[in-house]
Amino acid sequence: MASSTGVQVESIFHPPTFKPPSATNTLLLAGAGARYIEKEGKVIKVTAVSVYLEDKGIQSLAAKWKGKTPAALMDSDYFYNDIVNGPFEKLTQISMLIPIPGKSFSETISQLWVGILKANGTYTDADVTNIVKFLNALKDESFAPGASILFTSSPAGSVTVNLVKDGIISEAAIVVFENEKWGATVMESVIGKNGVSQEAKQSLASRVSEFLN
């Protein structure tokens, strides 16, 4: 079921399949695109964001979404919710297109997660602990263009975080979020209703439609 094509986002090539060290399966590239910010009146591409799903995840979407066009998938929050909350392995990879300090990156993404958890009414002391661990793990890091952070979600929903620097993937996790809601939280921050990359969402709708049809 794997597509033979990867996706190029600026300097970052996302291969059609990938097996991160924290996954048990080889995952399929579901979509990839840039994240933009506005700075001093200019729109800047800051990161390349990709989403990978295990084959079982693609199959689980077929019953409801097979036959739908990319436009129909893009317009449906329910489609993205089925990916966000699906009980299958998935990966969010965030790759740097510009130099980004670890402290800045971790603070920005942590704010997104806290907003999602609070909006869902599920923000607890355990989540505070997870976020503090994440902030501490990255506070002294510095990411050059091409460096990546991998967020691998288990079917149960926990998340393991690995770094990629100078083309080398850290086998040891820098942080593990044990709570089962974290897989959905990380994925929602990327492709949810207010996800950070519309390009990645469009790419995902197009590629998944192709997989299913």
Identify whether 106 is part of a domain.
yes
Look at residue 205 and tell me if it is in a domain: yes
For 76, the domain range is 7-212
- Whether the model clears a pTM of 0.85, i.e. scores above it, the answer is yes
Widest CA span of the chain, in angstroms?
Answer: 47
Judge whether 140 and 174 are in contact, CB under 8 Å: no
- Asked whether residue 2 is assigned to any structural domain, the reply reads no
In this prediction, residue 53 carries a pLDDT of 96
Which residues face 51 on adjacent strands? 31, 92
What is the total count of domains within the chain? 1
Q: Is there a domain that residue 87 lies in? A: yes
Task: Copy the structure tokens of residue 142.
Answer: 């510095």
Helix (H) or strand (E) holding 198: helix 198-212
Helices (H), the chain: 55-65, 70-74, 77-84, 102-119, 125-138, 182-191, 198-212
Residue 203 lies in a domain: yes
Query: Looking at this protein, which amino acid is placed at residue 48?
Result: A
If DSSP codes are grouped into helix, strand and coil, which group holds residue 165?
A: strand
Q: Which residues have CB under 8 Å from 194's CB, separation 6+?
A: none
The CATH number covering residue 47 comes to 3.50.70.10
d(CA 87, CA 59): 12
From first to last of its 213 residues, the chain has per-residue pLDDT tens of 445 689 999 999 999 999 999 999 999 999 999 998 887 788 889 999 999 999 999 999 998 999 999 999 999 999 999 999 999 999 999 999 999 999 999 999 999 999 999 999 999 999 999 999 999 999 999 999 999 999 999 999 999 999 999 989 998 999 999 888 999 999 999 999 888 899 999 999 999 999 998
Which has the closest alpha carbon to 106: 151, 146, 167?
151
- Please give the Cα distance from 87 to 103 (Å, whole number): 31
Is 32 a domain residue?
Answer: yes
b/e per residue 68-92 (b: at least 16 CB within 10 A): bebeebbeeeebbbebbebebbbbb
Q: Which residues pair with 130 in a beta bridge?
A: none
Looking at residue 180, its pLDDT comes to 86
